[in-house]
Amino acid sequence: MSDLTRLTIAEARDGLAAGKFSAVELTAAHITSMDAARGLNAYITETPEKAVEMATASDQRRAQGTVGKMEGIPLAIKDLFCTKDTLTTAASHILDGFKPKYESTVTTNLWNEGAVMLGKVNLDEFAMGSSNETSFYGNVVNPWRRQTDDQPLVPGGSSGGSASAVAAYTAMGATGTDTGGSIRQPAAFTGIVGMKPTYGRCSRWGVVAFASSLDQAGPMTRSVRDAAIMLEAMAGFDPKDSTSVDMDVPNFEAALTGDIKGLKVGIPKEYRLDSVPAEIQSLWDKGIEWLKAAGAEIVEISLPHTKYALPSYYIIAPAEASSNLARYDGVRYGLRVEGKDLADMYSRTRAEGFGSEVQRRLLIGTYALSAGYYDAYYLKAQKVRARIAEDFNTAFKEVDTILTPTAPSAAFAFGEKSGGDPLEMYLNDVFTVPASLAGLPGISLPAGLSGDGLPLGLQLLGRPFDEETVIRTAGVLEEAAEFTAKPSDWWRG
């Protein structure tokens, strides 16, 4: 049997359907791969026994003729999704030992569609970071290395464990969450596909909250088709989430028609930044050419408030986080550090339980909401956010989708941007944050290599709830890009 881990979800689905291998075999292959890849530190908790159990049940279901959309497909789950009786940490010390007594809606949907859980994957603490360097459980390593050296590189963040796990063939797909680019940017850094659907498409119930008005779950896979299949299984209306949209989930895979003739693709001029390396600019130009060649019409557009997206994001997200993370107080779950009284217990627990980046954002957020500063910071940022959303609305009157680079650089080395100035790290989200603020669907797909052989991604954005156009266009781009490069599997022990 050839290496089952190299299959895409769509291929595995066909193989399982044809009886070429069982879910148990497919899962076993991934467990072996997961074991071999421990050096990447992608997993916080491996659940091989549970995986075999679920795969066995999947084979039984198949034998009885019940086949879900993700039947028998082994997945890695970002450790921000609560999984019943399985340790859930948000990569934070403060959730020490926390085993939820409930299962998130998104993972429930996946299990209902037959998927198999391999384990819980690493991330930036509470999803706050763009390099997976803030996890209490240590850095995640990118399976990709530069051609020129063996220096370990970051996988991006915050869904760095998800990205690394999928890129290193330890899982066929992984759930991610995207608040300001946390699916798309690590997908770009690791040469995989990552999709953030429209805000409201996937339920947030049972997902540890970072910034409620921005957080959105999505799939991370090795092909656009796989992303479509997996998103369809994850998405759906959930009455337990007041921001979940009561709308039918389309057959996303069916959107992959390969036909984009006459489609209008916007190219925002504000995304041409001098600071972005030429190789990324030229990849973007290539993308434009590929779409043009496929019959799309290219339209230059303007998103005038683009440069204000990052600063408003770095007020709104921390402000919401400062409130969302108030529940970690050592009373009902997780870490408790005793103190001389209740207030002292709180502040010791939170000082020890939260890492420095989380603390920094909680302080900024607290300050931005505090008396006398609310109007100047939080309210102002929410108004600017409305202007940014307006920019997109205007643009989408003219175009059907927007093409941009995903990130301003390829994967970088540990410590390269996490040394001194936090702003340097924040700037990584420059191309992903605006769509997050507007709640729009976006996908990143690998489209080329950097000069030193690292994957680079292109991003497509769409109208609210028009994931189908994004997927369709991404399918065309994927075919044109012919991205077949793979990391050398140096990490296999």
Partner 1 sequence: MSLDKATVAKVANLARIRVEEKDLEPLAAELNSILGWVEQLGEVDTENTAPMTSVADMQLRWRTDEISDGGYQEDIVANAPGHEDGFFAVPKVIE
Partner 2 sequence: MGMIIQGATGDWEVVIGMEVHAQVTSKSKLFSGSATEYGAEQNSQVSFVDAAMPGMLPVINEKAVEQAVRTGLGLKAKINKHSVFDRKNYFYADLPQGYQISQFLQPIVGEGVITIDLKDGETREIGITRLHLEQDAGKSIHDQHPSMSLVDLNRSGIALMEIVSDPDLRSPEEAAAYIKKLRSILRYLGTCDGNMEEGSMRADVNVSVRRPGEPFGTRCEMKNINSVRFIQQAIIYEANRQVDILEAGGTVDQETRLYDSVEGETRSMRSKEEAHDYRYFPDPDLLPLEFDDAFIEKIRADLPELPDDKKARFVNDLGITAYDAGVLVAEKEIADFFEAVAKGRDAKLSANWVIGELFGNLNRTGKSLSDSPVSADSLGELIDLIKDGTISNRIAKEVFEEMFETGKAAEAIVEEKGLKQVSDTGAIEAAIDEVIAANQDKVAEYRGGKDKLFGFFVGQVMKATGGKANPGVVNQLLRPKLDG
Residues numbered 211 to 230 that lie near partner 1 (CB under 8 A) are: 213
Instruction: Decide if 99 is catalytic.
Output: no
Q: Which does 211 bind (CB under 5 to 8 A by kind): partner 1, partner 2, none?
A: partner 2
Residue 229's region, left for phi above 0, alpha for psi from -120 to 50, else beta, is alpha
Cα R_g (the chain), whole angstroms: 21
Based on the residue annotation, tell me whether 78 is a catalytic residue of this protein. Answer: yes
32 burial (CB, 10 Å; 0-12 / 13-18 / 19+) is middle
Neighbours of 18 (CB within 10 A): 8
- Active site annotation includes 282: no
Q: Which stretch binds partner 1 (CB under 8 A): 8-16, 67-75, 104-112, 192-200?
A: 192-200
Distance CA 401, CA 298 (A): 10
**Which among partner 1, partner 2, none contacts residue 82 (Cβ within 5 to 8 A by kind)?**
partner 2
Minimum distance between the CB of residue 102 and partner 2, rounded to whole angstroms? Answer: 6
Residue 265 CB, nearest approach to partner 1 (Å): 23
Binding mask 437-476 for partner 1 (x = CB under 8 A): xxx------------------------xx-----------
Shortest Cβ distance from residue 342 to partner 1 (Å)?
Answer: 5
User: Cis omega (within 30 of 0) on the bond before 158?
Assistant: yes
Q: Under the criterion CB under 8 A, does residue 422 sit at the interface with partner 1?
A: yes
Nearest-5° Cα angle at 476, 470 to 482: 125
Q: Which of 269, 423, 488, 490 binds partner 1 (CB under 8 A)?
A: 423
Q: Which does 387 bind (CB under 5 to 8 A by kind): partner 2, partner 1, none?
A: partner 1
Shortest distance in whole angstroms from residue 78 CB to partner 1: 20
**Bridge partners (DSSP) listed for residue 459:** 404, 444
Tell me how far, at minimum, the Cβ of 244 lies from partner 2, in Å. 9
Question: Closest approach of Cβ 323 to partner 2, in Å?
Answer: 5
Burial of residue 304 (number of CB atoms within 10 Å: 0-12, 13-18, 19+): middle
For 43, the token pair is: 């997993």
Question: What residues from 377 to 416 belong to the interface with partner 2 (CB under 8 A)?
Answer: 378
Contact partner, 6, from partner 2, partner 1, none, Cβ < 5-8 Å per class: none
Residue carrying structure tokens 């795969």:
55
Considering only 58-66, 179-187, 221-229, 303-311, which stretch makes contact with partner 1 by CB under 8 A? 303-311
| Interaction of residue 130 with partner 2, rule CB under 8 A | no
Would you say 315 and 409 are in contact if contact means Cβ atoms under 8 Å apart? no
The SS3 of residue 436 is helix
If you ran DSSP here, which 8-state letter would residue 49 be given?
A: H
Q: Does 250 bind partner 1 (CB under 8 A)?
A: no
Assess 242 for contact with partner 2 (CB under 8 A). Answer: yes
Q: Give the nearest distance from C-beta 249 to partner 2 in angstroms.
A: 20
DSSP string, 234-303: H----TT-TTS---PPP-SGGG--S--TT-EEEEEGGG--TTS-HHHHHHHHHHHHHHHHTTPEEEEE--
**CA-CA distance, 293 to 327, in Å (whole number)?**
53
Q: Is 254 in the site for partner 1 (CB under 8 A)?
A: no
Is residue 27 close enough to count as binding partner 2 by CB under 8 A? no
Query: How many binding residues for partner 1 (CB under 8 A)?
Result: 74
- When asked if residue 221 is in the footprint of partner 2 (CB under 8 A), the reply is no
Contact string 80-109 vs partner 1 (x = CB under 8 A): -----------------xxxxx--------
Task: State which of residues 49, 278, 371, 420 lies at the interface with partner 2 (CB under 8 A).
Answer: 371
Place of tokens 């299962």: 103
Between 242 and 484, whose beta carbon lies closer to partner 2? 242
Look at residue 330 and give the partner it binds from partner 1, partner 2, none, a contact being a CB closer than 5 to 8 Å depending on partner kind. partner 1
Q: d(Cα 317, Cα 428) in Å, to the nearest integer?
A: 16
Residue numbers 179-218 binding partner 2 by CB under 8 A: 204-209, 211-213
Structural contact between residues 415 and 425, judged by C-beta atoms closer than 8 angstroms: no
Q: Collect all residues with Cβ–Cβ distance below 8 Å to 198 and sequence separation of at least 6.
A: 216, 245, 439, 440, 441, 464, 465, 466, 467
Segment (H or E) for 57: helix 48-63
Q: Which residues of 180-190 are buried (b: 16+ CB within 10 A; e: fewer)?
A: bbbbbbbbbbb
Tell me which residues in 81-100 interact with partner 2 (CB under 8 A): 81-82, 88, 90, 95, 98, 100
| Partner that binds at residue 434, options partner 1, partner 2, none, CB closer than 5 to 8 Å by kind | none
How far is residue 57's CA from residue 55's CA, in Å, rounded to a whole number? 5
Mapped onto helix, strand or coil, the DSSP state of residue 207 is strand
- Which listed residue (22, 33, 104, 158) is catalytic? 158
Please, which residue, 307 or 327, has the CB nearer to partner 2? 327
Cβ–Cβ < 8 Å for 231, 443: no
Regarding 235 and contact with partner 2 (CB under 8 A), the answer is no
Residue ranges that bind partner 2, judged by CB under 8 A: 81-82, 88, 90, 95, 98, 100-102, 104, 204-209, 211-213, 239-243, 319-320, 322-323, 325-327, 329, 331-333, 342-343, 346, 366, 369-371, 374, 378
Looking at the annotation, which residues are catalytic? 78, 158, 182
